[in-house]
């Protein structure tokens, strides 16, 4: 086996890069082979596998039929409706063709947009794959969003058809989607030609004659539908997906077809050590990039079974995911630190009750994985816990420990090393120079071209793509991740926070993440967010908002003062007094996005008495209200 260091080098050197990706392209079925691997004649726009023609749905389904038609492809589990259904590759192929025929009957064809606003049900997967089959572009909007977020995405993507459902359900509470969709359609100036509704029988729906249709009615007309795959150019768009909106207005990430298919296909052996016939369980939502790539496309491209799970990780109890691992002999699991922190509040015995011997490893992504959380889940599961760092923009991991020897040497708190294909750099944000010595802090950046699978541009806005992400440094085009990090002497990276969140205390630049990591080492702290707040004396001061494990321990002012002093002392001893938060405030919840990321910008704005801006992606508005009240009570 080639050493990873050589494999990596080959993937990024301009002389060997094309050969490297040509090899990876062989993992994919092409209708027409590419004539050029990478066209980077118009930087920063990279065109991968130029001249190649393929179909993503063909690669995910059709090509497996000869060998594994009766093997499980999709295992749809809902602990909200108490249903479980397994679709074989043959059955999934049939359902996708029915869905494709229905979409076609509304006039959907190559290049048309279809918006998918759905809970975690199998029909959402049919719809996404059906779009790929027709060469249409999907735009999946997370089902937890309400009408305003939905309306802005309808305006932006201009879908011909919207596919939705009567309702989703979360923790046993039904959330009706149709009224939110109707409201969004009123707010939006763009009107789709048709709305296709999946009726789960959870909430009543008003159907508008002429516009709204029921999936079950139309499906029955197309039971035997055979819809051939539309071959598209490698560089034709596959989908649009909006970033999480943690730092501001979400960006519509536009993805190609060939580069994405190859990148995902290659990631299965090289990152996940995954093979056909195994079972992948990614606990994300189809509305996020992790869900697009690792609930749906990558496992199916690899000929695996994939688990689609609707429900909470702790209902009916905190053992539910692990019971699925036992039942379906799940080999690969992918989740987020936020989910592990939820589990961590429960007895680890729940995880040990089941036979987890099939499980090879657990990958976690989406936000920093703090050491105590990593240690807890590692002890409970006894499998490698592998942090991986990426973005909606990239579509697949930028940093992790790739398959092979490297996974044995993980360092908690680090997502590992740069993944093949990504020419990762650290840039000094003041002088714009590349930092090459170990342990220097800088902005994490990627030298162009971005590897296959990454965003092509911002949907409908090339200028925004160039202006937002790219800068020219010493004649090279450099993509900024807007994350702040450091690399140690062994090449392991540590993410220190977002560049927006860097705190400048009396000229010292500190990542919020560093301070958070230090505070979360305190046994009584369950979760913490640190923000920089304007300070007349020091420029900025760190302020911490902490959730304690046991609220009764901070019920009076004296207890709070004790714990606050302890936390400050801990930071002093680990990072030095310069990083010490000016205040540690105790709250019961932190403001987060719907995908579980801390909304530090909102905390910071409230702490500085500013307008917190666009909060449409916020999960629980009460968390911010609490912070406001707290700040006012001690000011």
By the criterion CB under 6 A, which residues form the site for ligand ATP?
A: 243-248, 250, 365-369, 387-392, 415, 481, 483, 495, 498, 595, 597
Phi, psi dihedrals of residue 23, rounded to the nearest 5°: -60, -45
Q: Which does 368 bind (CB under 5 to 8 A by kind): Mg ion, ligand ATP, none?
A: ligand ATP
Query: What is the per-residue DSSP string for 407-422?
Result: GGG--TT--BEEPTT-
Question: Among all chains, which residue has been given the structure tokens 């016939």?
Answer: 277
Q: Report the chain's terminal Cα–Cα distance, integer Å.
A: 62
Q: Give 293's Cβ-side CA count (13 Å radius).
A: 29
Least distance to ligand ATP from the beta carbon of 495, Å?
4
Residue 159 contacts which entry, ligand ATP, Mg ion, none (Cβ below 5-8 A, type-dependent): none
Closest CA to 276 of 306, 302, 242: 302
Q: Between 243 and 604, whose beta carbon lies closer to Mg ion?
A: 243
Q: Which residues contact 53 (CB under 8 A, 6 or more apart)?
A: 30, 31, 32, 231, 232, 233, 234
Q: Which residue, 394 or 520, is less far from Mg ion as judged by CB?
A: 394
> Residue 623 in contact with residue 589, Cβ under 8 Å?
yes
Task: Give the pair of three-digit tokens for residue 72.
Answer: 């499980």
Shortest CB 385 distance to ligand ATP, Å: 12
Nearer to Mg ion, 243 or 394 (CB): 243
Q: Which is nearer to ligand ATP, 159 or 368 (CB)?
A: 368
**x-or-dash string of contact with Mg ion, 206-245, rule CB under 5 A:** -------------------------------------x--
Instruction: Name the E strands within 158-304.
Output: 161-165, 167-170, 173-176, 194-198, 212-214, 232-233, 237-242, 252-256, 279-282
Q: Which is nearer to ligand ATP, 319 or 397 (CB)?
A: 397
Question: Which of 234/616 has CB closer to ligand ATP?
Answer: 616
Shortest separation between residue 405's beta carbon and ligand ATP, angstroms: 21
Contact yes or no for 309/360 (Cβ under 8 A):
no
Positions in 242-271 near Mg ion (CB under 5 A): 243
- Smallest gap from Cβ 488 to ligand ATP, in A, equals 16
Number of residues that bind Mg ion (CB under 5 A): 1
Q: Report how far residue 112's alpha carbon sits from residue 95's, in angstroms, rounded to the nearest whole number.
A: 21
Nearest distance in Å: CB 531, Mg ion: 17
H-helix or E-strand containing 36? Answer: strand 36-42
- CB under 5 to 8 A by kind: which of ligand ATP, Mg ion, none does 287 bind? none
Least distance to Mg ion, CB of residue 140, Å: 18
CB nearer to ligand ATP: pick between 244 and 520: 244
Q: Which does 387 bind (CB under 5 to 8 A by kind): ligand ATP, Mg ion, none?
A: ligand ATP
Alpha-carbon distance of 314 to 340, in angstroms, equals 11
Cβ 446 to Mg ion shortest distance, Å: 13
> What gap in Å lies between CA 629 and CA 532, rounded to an integer?
19
Return the one option of ligand ATP, Mg ion, none that residue 597 interacts with (CB less than 5 to 8 A, by type): ligand ATP
Q: How far is the CB of 459 from Mg ion (least distance, A)?
A: 15
What radius of gyration do the chain's Cα atoms show?
A: 24
Angular region, 134: left φ>0, alpha ψ -120 to 50, beta rest: alpha
CB of 361 closer than 8 Å to CB of 407: yes
CB of 11 or CB of 243, closer to Mg ion: 243
Residue 119: both structure tokens together: 């809970």
Rounded to an integer, what distance in angstroms lies between the CA atom of residue 364 and that of residue 334?
Answer: 6
CB of 483 to Mg ion, least distance (A): 8
Q: How far is the CB of 314 from ligand ATP (least distance, A)?
A: 23
CA-wise closest residue to 423 among 1, 40, 14 = 14
- Minimum CB distance to ligand ATP smaller for 117 or for 363: 363
Closer residue to Mg ion (CB): 253 or 525: 253
Q: Which does 501 bind (CB under 5 to 8 A by kind): Mg ion, ligand ATP, none?
A: none
Instruction: Give the residue nearest to Mg ion (CB).
Output: 243
Residues that bind Mg ion (CB under 5 A): 243
């Amino acid at each position: 086996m080639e050493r990873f260091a050589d494999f990596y080098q080959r993937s990024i050197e301009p002389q060997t890069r094309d050969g490297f990706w040509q090899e990876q392209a062989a993992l994919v079925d092409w209708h027409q082979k590419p004539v050029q691997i990478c066209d980077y004649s118009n930087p920063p726009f990279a065109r991968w596998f130029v001249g190649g023609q393929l179909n993503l749905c063909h690669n995910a389904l059709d090509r497996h039929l000869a060998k594994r038609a009766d093997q499980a492809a999709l295992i749809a589990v809902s602990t909200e409706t108490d249903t479980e259904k397994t679709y074989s590759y043959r059955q999934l192929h049939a359902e996708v063709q029915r869905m494709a025929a229905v979409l076609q009957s509304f006039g959907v064809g190559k290049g048309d947009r279809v918006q998918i606003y759905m809970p975690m049900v199998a029909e959402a997967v049919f719809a996404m794959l059906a779009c790929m089959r027709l060469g249409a572009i999907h735009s999946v909007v997370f089902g937890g969003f309400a009408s305003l977020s939905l309306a802005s995405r309808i305006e932006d993507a201009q879908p011909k058809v919207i596919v939705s459902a009567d309702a989703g359900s979360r923790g046993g509470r039904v959330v009706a989607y149709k009224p939110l969709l109707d409201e969004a359609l009123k707010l939006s100036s763009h009107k789709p030609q048709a709305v296709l509704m999946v009726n789960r029988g959870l909430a009543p729906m008003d159907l508008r004659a002429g516009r709204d249709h029921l999936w079950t009615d139309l499906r029955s007309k197309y039971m035997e539908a055979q819809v051939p795959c539309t071959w598209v150019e490698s560089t034709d768009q596959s989908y649009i997906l909006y970033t999480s909106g943690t730092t501001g207005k979400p960006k519509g990430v536009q993805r190609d077809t060939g580069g994405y298919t190859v990148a995902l296909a290659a990631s299965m052996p090289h990152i996940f050590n995954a093979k056909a016939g195994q079972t992948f369980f990614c606990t994300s939502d189809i509305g996020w990039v992790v869900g697009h790539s690792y609930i749906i496309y990558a496992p199916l491209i690899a000929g695996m079974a994939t688990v689609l799970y609707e429900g909470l990780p702790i209902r009916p109890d905190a053992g539910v995911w692990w019971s699925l691992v036992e039942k379906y002999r799940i080999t690969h699991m992918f989740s987020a630190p936020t989910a592990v922190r939820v589990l961590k509040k429960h007895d680890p015995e729940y995880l040990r009750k089941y036979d987890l011997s099939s499980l090879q490893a657990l990958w976690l992504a989406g936000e920093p994985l703090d050491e105590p959380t990593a240690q807890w889940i590692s002890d409970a599961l006894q499998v490698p816990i592998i942090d991986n760092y990426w973005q909606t923009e990239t579509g697949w991991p930028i940093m992790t420990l790739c398959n092979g020897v490297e996974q044995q040497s993980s360092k908690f708190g680090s997502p590992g090393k740069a993944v093949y294909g990504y020419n990762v750099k650290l840039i000094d944000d003041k002088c714009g120079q590349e930092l090459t010595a170990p342990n220097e802090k800088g902005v994490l950046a990627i030298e162009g071209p971005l590897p296959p699978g990454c965003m092509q541009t911002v949907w409908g806005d090339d200028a925004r793509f160039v202006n937002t992400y790219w800068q020219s440094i010493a004649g090279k085009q450099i993509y900024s991740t807007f994350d702040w990090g450091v690399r140690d002497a062994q090449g392991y990276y540590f993410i220190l926070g977002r560049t927006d969140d860097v705190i400048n205390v009396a000229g010292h630049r500190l990542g919020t993440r560093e301070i958070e990591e230090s505070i979360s080492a305190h046994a009584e702290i369950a979760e913490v967010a640190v923000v920089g707040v304007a300070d007349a004396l020091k420029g900025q001061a760190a302020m911490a908002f902490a959730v304690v494990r046991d609220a009764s321990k901070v019920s009076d002012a004296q207890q709070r003062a004790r714990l606050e002093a302890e936390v400050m002392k801990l930071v002093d001893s680990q990072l030095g007094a310069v990083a010490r938060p000016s205040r540690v405030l105790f709250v019961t919840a932190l403001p987060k996005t719907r995908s579980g990321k801390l909304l530090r910008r909102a905390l910071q704005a409230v702490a500085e008495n500013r307008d917190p801006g666009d909060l449409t992606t916020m999960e629980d508005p009460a968390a911010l209200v609490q912070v406001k009240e707290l700040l006012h009570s001690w000011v």
